[in-house]
Amino acid sequence: MSRKRDIEELEQRRRWAEQQGGEENVARQHQAGRLTIRERIDTLVDKGSFQEVGKLTGAGEYEAGEVQGVTPAPYVAGLAKIGGRDVVVGGEDFTIRGGTTARLDRRKGGQGGFSEDLAHQYRIPLVNLIDGAGGSVTSAKRRGHATFPGVDSFDRSVDLLAEVPVVSAVLGSAAGGPAGRAILSHWSVMVAETSQVFAAGPAVVERSLGQRITKEDLGGPDVAVAKGGTIDNVAASEEECCWMIRRYLSYMPQNVWQAPPQGPADDSVERADDELLTIVPAERRRAYHMRRVIELVFDKDSVFEIQPDFGTALITCLARLGGHVVGVVANNPMVYGGAMDVAEALKQCHFIELCDTFHIPLVFLVDVPGFMVGLQAEENGVLRAGMRAVYVASQATVPVVTCVIRKCYGMAGMATCQQRGVNLRIAWPSAEWGSLPVEGGVAVAYRRELAEHPDPKAREQELEAELREFSSPFRAAEAFGVEDVIDPRETRAYLHQFIAAAQSRLATELGPKARTGVRP
Amino acid sequence: MASVEIQSDVTGTVWKIEVKEGDTIAEGDTLMILESMKMEIPVVSTDAGTVAKILVTEEEPVAEGQAVALLNL
């Protein structure tokens, strides 16, 4: 009989957990346009796959030794499946004390804790659904002393970045620890209008600097995604956010000891679109849509762009080619002619390391006139950031194929090649390269001659035309200074053959990669 | 009537203005062409509407994020 009572109590306790912060707080969460943590997990994972761990955690109320109710701990975590593969998922329950830290013997997750230990030991991806504001000064009163920063260490979060895919979604106003946790991820996403992220929120900002600013203006996607690049992508809704997380993980292996999953090869690798022949305008000064080039070359509907709103002169995406996962890095001539500024350099560094870590071969579609020029760029440290991109490219060991669409100049051009590898560089007939573009370069190299010339403008144009003849990719191909010049329509088949062949190398290189040295 | 600002994505100079005030335009139409980094960079409309005001003149320098035209939706 008492066994039956035990089971009844267990079921009662589970029901209390499912009530979360109570009807009123759940309604408030919905009114704010947000899902509860349990709804989020349901939306994210394969139907019925969530095995919660620690459902009984919370603060119990007792009368004469009989439990009257339990206020659940404000964190829900467990094991689930996404696309049939195991993942660890966890997130704060904002309906309970605003998702603040629970007072448990062991953390459930978020910053260390059970969920991070599980992802680490089982070597499976971790998804953090973040909706909490972190520490509060009131905890010092409760404990009787102020806690030293790091009582909840980020060490496990840091280690995971070398082991398994880590995804974080910011789904409310995140400051402090939860905000920091979001950054220690391979990929992060936030939801437009309902989420903000910052080191410190408006109240702290006003007290510290006298600045009055709304939380949306301080940490909405316009700042956190487009300007700061703090968070990678924006979703229009929580549903879209969950879809994006599933999509992102579909390109990733379970851990760095495995190869990325092979997708369906239902788009013919021989597909050769005529549009590729005319997409680059004959007029050299005219820009074109690089995203269209990417669509035409890689498998249909396989392109997932990372950081589309930050460092917009560069495009980084995960895609498939004949079903093989590839990382695509392409310059965007629509923004500053594709020049590499600080944001572009940081974006490229992160993406290269991401692909290198998870054994995803890289394809560069190059149209880069060089590092960004001008006072603003120099003040921002473009040279240091740009050389960091060169440094990171040099350390990557995953196979790289470089396809030059138009411009490939200078040190930014060097960051698109893998000189220590096979260094396969192929070029479209529209390609041109050198240490710097002929325009501007002539003015520097022939400064004295031009100064003394009666018509310097005409002479400059004459010299430019003369030098441009040498920039034909066919001449470099004669010298094997570029490995091949191809018909743009052959790009897909050509790249595919090499990416498919590179799988042999990738299979022998699985495991974590140590990167040594000091990045510039 | 709702109106939107069309902003320049880049710092550069206005090279050629392709529309005039009162013109009806579709989303994606080129409003003007800027010159930046020796490239012609089109400023394309983010919405369909009519051109309410052109805020710059040819050869004028523009900054990244600067409003270059107003559109009535």
Q: Which of residues 50-69 of B touch A (CB under 8 A)?
A: none
- How close, in Å, is residue B20 to chain A by CA atoms? 22
Distances (CA, A) of A308 to A67, A119, A286: 52, 28, 22
Per-residue confidence (pLDDT) for residue B10, from 0 to 100: 87
How many Cα atoms are found within 13 Å in the side-chain-facing hemisphere of A120? 15
- How close, in Å, is residue B10 to chain A by CA atoms? 6
CATH architecture for segment(s) A275-431+482-507? Alpha-Beta Complex (3.90)
Q: CA-nearest residue of chain B to A284? A: B39
Per-residue confidence (pLDDT) for residue A1, from 0 to 100: 55
Per-residue confidence (pLDDT) for residue A471, from 0 to 100: 85
Interchain pair B36, A439: CB under 8 A: no
Total structural domains within chain B: 1
Each domain of chain A, given as residue ranges in start order, spans 2-250, 275-431+482-507, 436-471
Interchain pair B38, A337: CB under 8 A: yes
Which among A223, A334, A375 is the top mutation candidate for probing chain B, defined by the most B β-carbons within 10 Å of its own β-carbon?
A: A334
- The reply to whether B46 touches chain A by the CB within 8 Å rule is no
Per-residue confidence (pLDDT) for residue A456, from 0 to 100: 87
Which among A223, A227, A280, A285 is the top mutation candidate for probing chain B, defined by the most B β-carbons within 10 Å of its own β-carbon?
A: A285
Residues A317-326: b if buried by 16+ CB within 10 A, e if exposed: bbbbbbbbbb
Taking the C-alpha atoms of residue A432 and residue A472, their distance in angstroms, rounded to an integer, is 6
Per-residue confidence (pLDDT) for residue A207, from 0 to 100: 93
Query: Which residue stretches of chain A have pLDDT < 50?
Result: none
- The reply to whether B18 touches chain A by the CB within 8 Å rule is no
- Helix ranges (H only) for A424-455 are 438-445, 447-452
Per-residue confidence (pLDDT) for residue A31, from 0 to 100: 96
Q: Is the CB of residue A312 less than 8 Å from the CB of residue A332?
A: yes
Q: Is the CB of residue B72 less than 8 Å from the CB of residue B49?
A: yes
Q: What CATH number does residue B56 fall under?
A: 2.40.50.100
Same fold, A2-250 and A275-431+482-507: yes
> Which positions ≥6 away from A229 have C-beta within 8 Å?
A307, A310, A311, A343, A346, A347
- How close, in Å, is residue A306 to chain B by CA atoms? 19
Q: Give the structural domain span for B23.
A: 3-72
Nearest to A285 among B9, B11, B40 (CB): B40
Taking the C-alpha atoms of residue A221 and residue A198, their distance in angstroms, rounded to an integer, is 11
CB pairs below 8 Å between A and B: how many?
A: 40
Query: Which residue stretches of chain B have pLDDT < 50?
Result: none
> Which positions ≥6 away from A146 have C-beta within 8 Å?
A140
Q: Is the CB of residue A278 less than 8 Å from the CB of residue A345?
A: no
ipTM of the complex: 0.71
Interchain pair A287, B42: CB under 8 A: yes
Q: What is the pLDDT of residues A45-80, one digit of tens each?
A: 999 999 999 999 999 999 999 999 999 999 999 999
Q: By a Cβ cutoff of 8 Å, what residues of chain A touch chain B?
A: 283, 285-287, 312, 333-337, 339, 369, 372-374, 376, 437, 439-440
Q: CA-nearest residue of chain B to A369? A: B37
Per-residue confidence (pLDDT) for residue A460, from 0 to 100: 87
Q: CA-nearest residue of chain B to A368? A: B37
Q: Residue A285: list chain B partners with CB under 8 A.
A: 35, 38-40
- CATH dotted code for A2-250: 3.90.226.10
Nearest to B10 among A283, A335, A439 (CB): A335
Nearest to B37 among A312, A337, A376 (CB): A337
Interchain pair B40, A335: CB under 8 A: no
Q: CA-nearest residue of chain B to A286? A: B40
If one counts every other C-beta atom within 10 angstroms of the C-beta of residue A477, the result is: 16
> Which positions ≥6 away from A132 have C-beta within 8 Å?
A74, A92, A94, A98, A99, A100, A110, A172, A174, A177, A178
- How close, in Å, is residue B13 to chain A by CA atoms? 12
Distances (CA, A) of A254 to A19, A41, A242, A510, A519: 33, 19, 18, 12, 28
- How close, in Å, is residue B43 to chain A by CA atoms? 9
